Amino acid sequence: MSIVMNIEKVRLPGFLKPLIKKAAAAVRKVVKILGGSRPIARLLKSKDGGPVRRIVNGRQTKYTGFFISVKADFAQMPWESRKGEQAALVLAEASPRVVSLLAQPHRLEIFIREQRAPLKYFPDLELKVHPSFLADLLNGVPFSSAALAPSNNEPDADLKTLIIEIKDDRDSRQHHPRYKRKLELAESIYRKLGTTFLTIQRVEDIFPGHLRVASSVVSWRHTAVNQLDVWSAQKILEEGERIAADVVQALGGGPAGWGKLRALHVRRILEINLTDNVTPQSMVRLPQFNTMQVRVSS
């Protein structure tokens, strides 16, 4: 730092002084960052915008798999825990307040002075959510309850980014001091980036009853729907809520009509009330301000 100050005091041509001052300010900024207590980190994403890590590699000795998500533009989302990560993916896919999702969204590298190699952290899930969904989680509402709550007609322009770490109670890492410190550092970095980081526990945040409701909808997400189905649903719902049986009838009735109803919900064209099991009497409505809908075939 003294070198910079001495350079500033040397007699130089007038046109060089502004450049020297700017360079000195840049050096001071770097020194301040390096000398401070805040961690220095970088966030790396994949070139194609998909998951940065493929968990399913043939070397795992536990259950792993892929979840083909409609809300992730029909991409394969890897998971390594059926009751944790896979369950969270199903709930997010069904949630009317989750607009998009991405598993293994990036690699966060945290550089600290105590060691040469950076700490590497791969978050489980990144969600784009309505503010009310995030507010519920911050107020202690379990993840599965918040996921299946009705939307509040919040504009998609107000979405929040949420990074989630999903913990199984059998995972011994969560009690290790080094691992806990890494999560604390990650949380501080996300906070600086204006992103919320939350850890959810499987037993406390994912309830089997809620998962059954979500699965009953999400299992039909790949049912073929076209623009005519969208217009049919919009026409019957344009005057207000209707029971599911009426909407299914407008979509052709029978199992195909029920499949289309569920597929249109996941695509955010319409919204089924998921606070209870889906039945012919479940209420269905057109959500407002949902500009980020998933495409349908023409």
CATH of the domain at 226: 1.10.10
Per-residue model confidence (pLDDT) at position 31: 43
Residues 120 and 261 in one domain: no
Quick check: is 296 in a domain? no
Quick check: is 297 in a domain? no
Q: Is the dihedral of CA 225, 229, 231, 233 positive or negative?
A: negative
Nearest-angstrom CA–CA distance, 134 and 131: 5
Query: Taking residues 27-56, what's their average pLDDT?
Result: 68
Per-residue model confidence (pLDDT) at position 4: 40
Question: Nearest Cα to 93, choosing from 199, 214, 236?
Answer: 214
What DSSP state is assigned to residue 84? I
Per-residue model confidence (pLDDT) at position 34: 43
Q: Which helix (H) or strand (E) holds 266?
A: helix 254-266
Residues 85 and 201 in one domain: yes
Q: Is 97 exposed, middle or buried (0-12, 13-18, 19+ CB in 10 A)?
A: buried
Angle between helices 254-266 and 227-237 (to 10 degrees): 90
Tens digit of each residue's pLDDT (9 = 90 or more) over 45-65: 988 888 987 765 555 556 788
Tens digit of each residue's pLDDT (9 = 90 or more) over 208-259: 999 999 999 999 999 999 999 999 999 999 999 999 999 999 999 999 999 9
* Tokens (6 digits) for 69: 């998500």
Position 54: which residue type? R
64 Cβ neighbours under 8 A, 6+ residues apart: 55, 56, 78, 79, 80
Per-residue model confidence (pLDDT) at position 213: 98
132 has a pLDDT exceeding 80 = yes
* Tokens (6 digits) for 20: 């020297």
Q: Is 4 exposed, middle or buried (0-12, 13-18, 19+ CB in 10 A)?
A: middle
* Residue 281, helix vs strand vs coil: coil
pTM (predicted TM-score):
0.82
* Mean pLDDT lowest among 89-98, 113-122, 218-227: 113-122
Per-residue model confidence (pLDDT) at position 252: 97
Residues 127 and 210 in one domain: yes
Query: Taking residues 18-22, what's their average pLDDT?
Result: 66
Domain count for the chain, please give it.
3
Tens digit of each residue's pLDDT (9 = 90 or more) over 162-176: 999 998 876 666 677
Position 253: which residue type? G
Residues 102 and 156 in one domain: yes
Residues 207 and 83 in one domain: yes
Quick check: is 295 in a domain? no
Residues 28 and 47 in one domain: no
Asked if residue 75 lies in contact with residue 64, where contact means CB atoms within 8 angstroms, the answer is no
Query: Taking residues 15-36, what's their average pLDDT?
Result: 56
112 has a pLDDT exceeding 50 = yes
* Tokens (6 digits) for 131: 């503010």
Domain around 240: 220-285
Per-residue model confidence (pLDDT) at position 219: 97
Per-residue model confidence (pLDDT) at position 146: 97
Query: Taking residues 23-33, what's their average pLDDT?
Result: 55
If you count them, how many residues does the chain have? 298
Q: Residue 245 phi/psi, 5° resolution?
A: -60, -40
- In Å, what is the CA distance from 279 to each residue of 47, 222, 262? 43, 20, 12
Position 65: which residue type? G
